Structures are given as structure tokens and as C-alpha cells.
Amino acid sequence: MRLHEYQAKGVFADAGIPTPDSRLATSVEEAVDAGRDVGYPVAVKAQVHVGGRGKAGGIEIATDEDELREAADAILGMDLKGYHVDRVLVESAVDFTNELYLGVTMDRGEGEPVAMVSSEGGVDIESVAEETPEAIAREHVDPAFGMHPYQARKAVYEAGIPRDVARAVSSVLETLYDLWEANDASEAEINPLMVTDGGDVVAADAVLNVDDDALFRHPGLADMEEESYTDDLERKAGEYGFDYVRLSGNVGIIGNGAGLVMATLDLVDHYGGAPANFLDIGGGAKAERVANALDMVFSDPNVDSVVFNIFGGITRGDEVARGINDALSQFDEIPKPVVVRLAGTNASEGMEILDTSLVQVEGTLEDAVQRAVANAAEVQS
């Protein structure tokens, strides 16, 4: 479960991490009232689960009520990278001298949590990791003992953080790790952690993604789940129990198993397409579950074609084929071209069951992806 910025900031603030004074607003008038409460200047920030909100027009600075009204009116209701914006966070703008990055996640290669610090905050950290990896200091943590204070200080020192704020940054990093661990999070991040002229640090943004399977241990976070959905598709995915991430492309992707779906995403990109989503239907998916997955992808207006990639193990190819047939038979006209690739358990039986008047069938994953990309390009032409 991905918390919205305002939700994550609430969790961070409760733990003692400094955050700007802020109010949530769902209308222009609520935003204006929030501006009066917080005091100008303010930042008006779209609350959607996408990166690069500022460059896409989802974050604006307002110095008075007229500017705030104009910014809120422009952001509320806008389509931001495929997401409808129905709420904004109005928060006190931070007068900063430096922007830092702090993050905690799981390093699956090392089998340990890793805390990260960089002096290059306020930008896409993935780009920093790719272009200047030496700008990110990493400190692995033994989960049996947690983060020791000396480890936080070491990471901050290696990142080249100025001495006058090093102690405050170290303290925030320790708290961030504690939050990551205590909430069964997959990722906790502050980007940027702003440094003020007075030497204070403030979390100007906040990310907290929590393992869905651990929500039963965190009723307070579980209560935020419904509110954390950005749009109807994410809400529907939650109801169906799917692992789903909406992306900005136009090739819909359905598969069974996270690795298989990721491989399909990579191939779509490799062959010149743009993935519209990550959708893992899981192992042992029956016909009804497959039909629900197709319903979800068809419901995304950005999708122009669909590739269905199933490797039979627990999930049998004949069950998948029946699900595809059942789902598509509900439509008088198939809304998007569907390409299917089946392999593994009962794949040959599934290929025989598939109604080729409704779907296009390919024998290899590469052929299936190339055909789906071509279908999407044809729709756009």
C-alpha cells in the first residue's frame, strides 16, 4: 500500500520528523482557507502517486490568496500522468539553502535493509544512482539489531553532508529507519529533506510504502488504505486483490508472477512500446480472476492493446484460456486487441481452448510483445 504524501507526513510527524505545517484540501475554497491557516507563501501539491509532479504542473508556489486560488483551480481536476487530481496539500513553503535525500529500503541482493543518504536531493534519485552512483552513501543494517547511531552518522559523513547539520540529519535517518522497520514498509523516503538558513531540517516530501500482507498488524495504516487509492483502477485492484501499478504507457500487461510481469514490461520497452501497467494475477488464478484482470485493463482509457503472458505452474493454461474466453465473450465488440502467450502446464490445451476470433495467439513471449506493441502503434496512427 502506497501512502499519499499527506498521509506519510502525518506518520513522520508523529514520530518526530520535522514537516511543514499543512492542510489537505479538496476544493478551491478549502485550499484558500488552508492558506490563511498556514500563512504565505505556500506550496500547493497534487496528491497522486506519481513522480515528477513539479515538472508536470502538479506543484505550484503561491505568495498570496489570488495566486493560491489560481493554482488550486489549475491543479484540482487536472489529469497528471494519467491520474485525476481530486485533492491537494497546501503547506508552508520552506526557505531552504540545501536539499538532501534520505531513504530506506530492502537490498535484496545483500539480503539486508539499506539506508541511503545523498547530498543531491530534490531530483529523481534513480537518475542520480545511474549517472553518479558515488553521490549516494549506503549503509546496510543487520535487522536483528536495527540501525546503530554510529551507522547513521557514518552514512551522513560519507555522503558529504555539512557538519553543521550532520547531527540533525543523522537523527532523522535513525527515525526513518525505525519507521520503516516498525511499519513493515517496503520503502521509506524523504526527497527532499530541506536544510534551512538557520540549520534546521524539514521533510518537504514523504514516501511510505507498506507491505499489504502486514496491514493486519497496523490497524492505523489499514484505515488509510481506502483513502490511499488515487483512482478507480487502484481501488478496483484492491478489491480484486491484484498487485497493480498504473503506468503512463498504452500497452496493457497481464501476467502471473512479478518476475514474469517485469520481464514483459522490459520487453515492451525494448521493442519500442510503453507499458500501461504492472498487473500480476498471481499463482492459481481461476477463470473469474483472469476475467477481472481483463476488465481492469480494459477500463484504463490509456490502454490501446493488451498482452497476456502466462507461464503455467500453479496457474493452468486451460483455466487461463477459459477466463480469457469468458471475459471477452461479454463484449459485443472487443474494446482492445488482445495478444496471448501461454507456456507451461496445460499450455497446449489452453491454446486449443482459446477463441482465436477474439484474441491473437503467439508462441513466444518476444513475438507476443512485438505484436502488442504493433497493435498499439496502429491504434495511435
Is there a binding annotation on residue 26?
no
**Four-residue CA torsion sign, 28, 33, 36, 41:** negative
Cα separation of 324 and 318, whole Å? 10
Any binding-site annotation on 205?
yes
Indicate if 139 belongs to the active site.
Answer: no
105: annotated binding-site residue? no
- 17 marked ligand binding residue: no
Is 177 a residue of the active site? no
45 is in an annotated binding site: yes
| Residue 54 labeled ligand binder | yes
The reply to whether 191 sits in an annotated binding site is: yes
158 is in an annotated binding site: no
How far apart (Å, rounded) are the C-alpha atoms in residues 169 and 172?
5
Choosing from 5, 60, 139, 189, which is the catalytic residue? Answer: 189
- Burial class of 107 by CB neighbour count within 10 A (0 to 12, 13 to 18, 19+): middle
For 40, counting Cβ atoms within 10 Å of its Cβ (0-12 exposed, 13-18 middle, 19+ buried), the class is middle
253 in a labelled binding site: no
Place of cell 509532479: 53
Q: At what angle do helices 5-14 and 163-182 cross, to 10 degrees?
A: 100
Length of the chain: 381
Would the annotation count 53 as a binding residue? yes
- Which of these is catalytic: 6, 101, 177, 244? 101
Whole-number Å distance between alpha carbons of 133 and 163: 22
Query: Annotated binding site for ATP: which residue ranges?
Result: 45, 52-54, 91, 94, 99
Query: Annotated binding site for substrate: which residue ranges?
Result: 256, 313-315
Query: Annotated binding site for Mg(2+): which residue ranges?
Result: 191, 205
Q: Which residues are catalytic?
A: 101, 189
Query: Annotated binding site: which residue ranges?
Result: 45, 52-54, 91, 94, 99, 191, 205, 256, 313-315
